[in-house]
Structure 1
Amino acid sequence: MLLNDDQSMLADLAARLFTDKADPDTVRAIRDGRIDSGYDQTLWQAMGEAGLTGILVPEAHGGMDFGLVGAGLVAREAGRRLAMTPYVSSAVLAATALGAADDDALRARWLPALADARAIATLACDEGRHHRPHDPATRAVAGGDGGWHLQGEKTLVSDAAEADLLLVSADDGDGDGDGPCLFAVEAGAAGLTIESTPLLDSRSCARITLDRTPAQPLGAGRPALDASLRAGRAVLAAELVGIAREVFARTLGYLHERRQFGRAIGSFQALQHRAAHLSVEIEMAEALAFRALEACDRDEPGADAMVPAAKAKAAAVARVAAAEGVQMHGGMGMTDEFDIGLFMKRARAAGHTLGGDRYCTDAFARARGY
C-alpha cells in the first residue's frame, strides 16, 4: 500500500530501532536461559521511549493513537528481526480491549502505563489446544461485597508470566446471549496461579488457573473482546509478512553468493522460478494484510472478512518462505546456528496464535455468509 508521510516516518523509525537493538541471537539466549526473562527488556524499554508501545493508545492517555496500519508497520519490522517483546499482547490486544472498556477509571489507570512500557498486559481467552474464544468455561460470580470473582483455567496466554494485568474472558451467567465478558485481573491477585509453558518459538506463554480470583469487569462485553481479537489477528498478519520478507531477502542473497559449477546458483532456472513465485506470494500477502489493517481503521463492513483472510494468507506464505529458505540454503539451513530455523519456528507459532489457517478460513467463510 502507499504510505503517507507520517506512516513512512513511523516505518523508518521502527526499522532503525529493530535493526539497532533486536537480534535473532536474543531468541537463543532466552531459550537457553542466558536471559532471565521471557522477553527482551532493553528492546521493550527502547520501544516505550520511542512511543511504539503506545501506538494504539489514545493521545489523551499518553499514546500515539496511530491506528492499526501503524501498528502493522511496527509488527512487520519486528517480524523481520524476530523481536522478542510482548508487543502484540500488550500494545495491541490489551490496549485495544482497554480502549473499548466502559470503565473510565480502569482506562485512566492502565492505558498510560501501557503506553510508556511501565506495565505489560495480556489477553487470556483460550481454554484448550485450539482457539475458541467465544464459549468460555471460566465463570464470573458476583460476590456479596459487590465485586466479582473468576473460577476456571486459561491456556496459551502469551506473556502472562511478565504481565502486570490480565484481561480474562468469562461467562458472567446473565443469560443475555451476548457472549463472554472481559475482566481485569491484576498480577498477584488471590487465587491466581501462572504455570509457564514456553512455545515452539521460545516466546513466553502460560497456563493460568483462577480460583475465586477477584476481578474487575471492563463493562464492554463481547464487543471489546472481538475488537481486541480482530486487531491482534490483523497485526499478526503484518508480522508474518515481515518474517516472510526477511527470510526471502536472506535466501535471495544466498542464491547470488553461492556458486556451483562455476556459476551462482541463482542463475539456475528452477531456483529462479521458485524465487519468483515466492516473491509474488509475499507481495500479495502484504497487500492483503495492510488492506485489512486499513479496513479496521476505517471500520469498514468488510473488515471482519478481510482480517482472517489476511492472517491465513500471511501464515501460509511465511511457512512457505521459511521452508524454501531452509531448502535453498542446503545442509546449513538445518543447523541451529543458522537463523532460518528460528524464523520457521516463529512463523509456525504466530500462524497458530489467535486462530490457525482453518479457524481463519472458517471465519472468513462465515463473515461472507457461506
Structure 2
Amino acid sequence: MAMRETDEQRALRDAVAIFLDKRSSQARVRDLMTTDTGHDTSAWREMAEMGLLGLTLPEEVGGAGAGYAEQGIVMEEMGRALLCAPYFSTAVLTPRLLAAAGDDRERSEILPRIAAGELVVSLAYAEDSSTRPPVRVDTAAAQIAGQWSLTGQKTFVLDAGAAGLLYVLADTDSGPSIFAVDTAAAGITIAALTTIDLTRKQYRVEFADVAARLVGTPGAGIDVVTTAVDHAAVALLSEQAGGAHRAMQMGVDYARTRMQFGRAIGSFQAVKHLCADMLLEAESAISAARHVAAAFDETAQSRWSDLALAQAYCSEAFVFTAATTIQVHGGIGFTWEHPAHLYLRRARTDAQLLGPPTYHRDRYLQLKGV
C-alpha cells in the first residue's frame, strides 16, 4: 500500500500545522482546559471555513469527500498540538455513526450543519466502567403516543457540555437502537467527569423521560455503534502517533540543549538510550497509523486485524514516549508549568478511550483465529 503523501496531502498538513500553531499554542491549550467545555467557538468556525469539519463528509452535504489518510493527517497534527476541541466526537465519530446507521434523512439534516460548524455532536453509548459498546444496554427507550423518551445514564461522553445534539444507544422492545437527543431537552442532566486529561472533556449524562427521535433501524444499535467506533479508531491512531512524535521531539530537543557537567545530557549513554527508545516507538506508531489508514482507504483484507494490533501498539507507544520524555526532562518534567505531563495525560486517556490495549490484542488474536 502506498504511504507516500501527495502534494495535496502535504499542503493539507502544512495548512493544519499553521492553523494549530496559531490556535493551539501551549498557552491556549492551558486556557481552554480550565473552561467548562474546552471549546473555542471562533477556532471552530475557522476549522469549518478550512473544510476540516467536513473533510470526510460527502460533497453533497458540504464535505470534501476525503479518505482515511487525509483524516489521519489532520488528526496527527492535532495530536502533536494537543488540540482542545470537540473535533473527534463531532467530525470523526458522528459521521461514522450516521454512515453506519444508514438514515439518509438524518444525514442530510445533520451533516451539513457539522460541516458548516453550526452544530457540535457527540455519542453517548458507554455504561458503567467500559468504554466499549455495552453487551447489555440499561438505558431504555419507550414509545408513548408515537413519541420516544429515554431514561437511564451514560458515562465517558465526549464533549457533551459543548454539544447541541447527542446520539444515544438505548434499549427498546426491538433491541438496542440509536436515538437523537437535544441537549437542551427537559429531563437531561450533564455533569463533568474528573479525568486525568483536562484537554479532552468527558461527562456523565442522565436521562429522565427525555424526548428523543429514532435514528436508523430499530434493534441495530450495537452493530451501528461498534462499526462507528471501530472506523473512528483509525483516526485516533493518528492522534496517538502525532502526540507520541511530539513528546519524543520535546525530549530529544531538551537532551541536546540541557548542559550538565559541561556537556549536553544527550551525550550521556543512559539518556541516549532513552531518546533512541522514544524515537523507535514514535516512528513505529506513525508507520502503524499511516499503514492502517491506507489499508482502510484501499479496503485491504487485513485492515481489521491491522487496526486491532495498531490500537494496542499506538496506545502503549504514546504512553511510553510521553512518560519517557518526562524522565529525560528530569525534575522540570514533573512540574505543572512544563507541557510534558499534558501529553502523558492525553496518552493515558487515549489508551482507554475506545477500549484498552488488552482488549485490542484479544481481538487481534480472535481475528487471526488463534
Q: Same fold (TM over 0.5)?
A: yes
The aligned amino acid for 2:4 is L
CA–CA distance in 1 between the matches of 2:154 and 2:64? 31
| CA positional deviation for 1:77 | 0.5
What is the DSSP-based 3-state SS (H/G/I as helix, E as strand, rest coil) of the residue aligned with 1:143?
strand
Equivalent position of 1:27 in the other structure: 29
Aligned equivalents of 2:251 and 2:224: distance in 1? 41
In the aligned structure 2, how far is the partner of 1:117 from the partner of 1:199?
A: 27
Query: Which deviations, in whole Å up to 9, do the C-alpha atoms of 1:187-234 show, x marking residues without a partner?
Result: 222322211214211122111112222222221524432231012222
String of CA shifts for 1:32-89, please: whole Å, max 9, x gaps: 4xx4542233322221111101112111100112122211111111111111011110
Instruction: Name the CA distance, whole Å, in 2 between partners of 1:164 and 1:187.
Output: 5
Contact 1:295–1:302 (8 Å) recurs in 2: yes
Which sections of structure 2, spanning at least 5 residues, go unmatched?
Answer: none
1:343 Cα deviation after fit: 0.9
| TM-superposed deviation, 1:292 | 1.4
Q: Is the 8 A contact 2:33 2:84 kept in 1?
A: no
Give, in angstroms, the shift of residue 365 of structure 1: 2.2
**Per-residue deviation, 1:101:** 2.9
In the superposition, the TM-score normalised over structure 1's length comes to 0.93
- State how 1:93-172 maps to structure 2 within 5 Å: 93-172=93-172
Aligned to 1:217: 214
Tell me the equivalent position of 1:2: 4
> 287-296 vs 340-349, which deviates more?
287-296
Partner of residue 45, structure 2: 45
**Alpha-carbon separation, structure 1, partners of 2:104 and 2:232:** 23
1:312-363 per-position Cα deviation (integer Å, ceiling 9, x unaligned): 2111111111111111111111110101011111111111111121222222
How many pairs are equivalent?
364
Residue of 196, 201, 215 corresponding to 1:204 = 201
| Distance across 2 between alignment mates of 1:271 and 1:361 | 31
- Say which SS state the counterpart of residue 230 (structure 1) adopts: helix
Q: Do the aligned partners of residues 214 and 26 (structure 1) sit closer, same or farther apart at CA in structure 2, a change above 3 Å counting?
A: same
Report the Cα distance in structure 2 between the residues aligned to 1:300 and 1:136, rounded to whole angstroms.
32
Give the Cα–Cα distance (whole angstroms) in 2 for the partners of residues 145 and 38 of structure 1: 39
Q: Which amino acid aligns with 1:103?
A: D
1:184-333 aligned at under 5 Å gives the runs 184-202=180-198, 203-220=200-217, 221=220, 222-333=222-333
CA contact (8 A) 2:137 2:169 kept: no
8 Å CA contact 1:184–1:217 kept in 2: the answer is yes
TM-score by structure 2 length?
Answer: 0.93
Q: Give the corresponding residue for 2:72.
A: 72
SS of equivalent to 1:52: coil
For 1:15 and 1:145, locate their aligned partners in 2 and report how far apart those are by CA, in whole Å: 52
The share of aligned pairs that are identical, in percent, is 34
Amino acid of the structure 2 residue aligned with 1:195: A
Partner of 2:18: 16
How far, CA to CA, are the matches of 2:208 and 2:301 in structure 1?
Answer: 40
Native 8 Å contact 1:78 1:239 kept in 2 = yes
Q: Supply the distance in 2 between the matched residues of 1:12 and 1:224 (Cα, whole angstroms).
A: 34
Point out the more displaced range, 204-213 or 118-127.
Answer: 204-213
How big is the shift at 1:102? 2.8
User: Which residue identity is paired with 1:268?
Assistant: F
Q: For 1:39 and 1:281, locate their aligned partners in 2 and report how far apart those are by CA, in whole Å.
A: 31
Corresponding residue for 1:340? 340
- The question of whether the paired residues in 2 share the 8 Å contact of 1:68 and 1:231 is answered with no
> Mean alpha-carbon deviation: is it higher for 218-227 or for 348-357?
218-227
Aligned-partner SS, 1:100: helix
Deviation at 1:142, TM superposition (A): 4.6
- Matched residues in 2 for 1:111 and 1:44: separation? 15
Distance in 2, matches of 1:126 and 1:299, equals 28
**Which blocks of at least 5 consecutive residues in structure 1 are unaligned?**
none
Q: Assess if the C-alpha contact under 8 Å between 1:136 and 1:169 holds in 2.
A: no
Partner deviation per Cα, 1:94-133 (whole Å, 9 max, x = no partner) = 1111233332221111100111211010111100122230
Distance change >3 Å, CA 198–CA 56, structure 1 → 2:
farther
Question: Aligned letter for 1:27?
Answer: V
What is the rounded CA distance, in whole Å, between the counterparts of 1:38 and 1:173 in structure 2? 38
- Contact in 2 for aligned 1:233/1:308 (Cα 8 Å): no
Once residues 129 and 140 of structure 1 are traced to their aligned partners in structure 2, the CA distance between those partners, rounded to angstroms, is: 18
The answer to whether the 8 Å contact 2:133/2:226 transfers is no
